[in-house]
Amino acid sequence: MKKFLMIIIITFMFMGCRSSSDLFDYGNPEIVKSFPEDGSGGIPNKAVLWIEFSEEMDKASVERNFSFTSTSGSVAYYKSWSGNRFIITPV
């Protein structure tokens, strides 16, 4: 009986090391919607842009690895989030 109890305790300890979202993660996050859509042209210079992901993202990582450029070079912008949507607002 002691051995059986130890196995159960050890099993629960290992299960506690993972978050519940890890147990059901079936793949990488995807971009499900965006504005403008891929390949769009003629977007106004001050248009608010956004990218919506299929699941919650590491927001700091997305912000750190995002850059915004135009044909005239780098663009200053504000960034914000609404749920899984990353919003880019040119300054």
pLDDT at residue number 86: 95
Higher-scoring residue by pLDDT: 4, 35 = 35
53: left (phi over 0), alpha (psi -120 to 50) or beta: beta
Does residue 37 have a pLDDT over 60?
Answer: yes
Minimal CA–CA distance to 84: which of 40, 39, 50?
A: 50
48-67: per-residue pLDDT in tens?
999 999 999 999 999 999 88
Report the alpha-carbon distance of residue 42 to residue 73 in Å, rounded.
17
